[in-house]
Amino acid sequence: MTWLLAIALAVAAFAVAAFAFRVGRRSWTTLAAALTFGLAGYALQATPNLPGAPTKAHTEPAQEGWALVDARKEMIADSKRSKSEKLLVADAMARQGQYANAAVLLRGAVEENPRDSEAWLALGNALVEHANGVLTSPALLAYRRASQADPGSLGPGYFFGLALIRDGRIPEGRQVWVETLQAAPKDAAGRAAMKERLSRLDELLKQIEANAPAQDSQ
């Protein structure tokens, strides 16, 4: 089980780099090699039975906030854009890594307009980031409400699947992406981008599988 978790975390780290930070395709081999060396080092030196030593988290602004806001806008059709000024302020907070404050504003936005799909989607993203990438029940509810408000949007399925991938639940996240693309209209905003990222994920899984060190029989 420890080995499966290590490989899943490596895949999740690659996915975040490839999709959130948009690392170029030319750098994939180098990144995959680095992760492979990390897995090899784990195989040789890991001691999973040692107790953990938690440290205080750093409070540096999260760079992924910029990428998440840009990706959300990419998945929303112009005609479905939110008109809420609270969303604009929340986006600025998210770009600075202030996800808790962004979530507070976005709760106000969806209370004012429960049919604001983009605000629900942004709320789900803020809640996931505030929980350090964990897909919590409130975040899942926000994604569900975003989908209900705009059934044809790719955004809720994309970010729900991404949260699963980052949580190490790679097959589930991939399946969500596949089903989202199948159900969405052919002209849905962000369709080409999502298909490209699904292709990247498949290529990533092949690279990790090809480069992963042999599992210790013990």
What one-letter code names the amino acid at 30? T
DSSP string spanning 123-191?
HHHHHHHHTTT---HHHHHHHHHHHHH-TT-SHHHHHHHHHHHHTT-HHHHHHHHHHHHHHS-TT-TTH
pLDDT of residue 211: 74
Please, what is the average pLDDT of the chain?
A: 80
Report, at the CATH architecture level, how domain 64-201 is classified: Alpha Horseshoe (1.25)
In this prediction, residue 29 carries a pLDDT of 58
Residues 6 or more apart from 63 whose CB is under 8 A from it? 21
Alpha carbons 205 and 184: distance in angstroms, whole number: 25
Inform me whether the pLDDT recorded for 80 exceeds 50.
yes
Amino acid at 85: E
Question: Around Cβ 78, how many Cβ atoms within 10 Å?
Answer: 7
Q: pLDDT digits over 91-134, tens only?
A: 999 999 999 999 999 999 999 999 999 999 999 999 999 999 89
CATH 1.25.40.10, the chain: domain bounds: 64-201
For residue 23, what pLDDT is reported?
A: 52
For position 210, what pLDDT does the model report?
Answer: 79
pLDDT in tens, 6-37: 556 556 665 655 555 555 555 555 556 555 54
> For 47-51, what is the mean pLDDT?
47
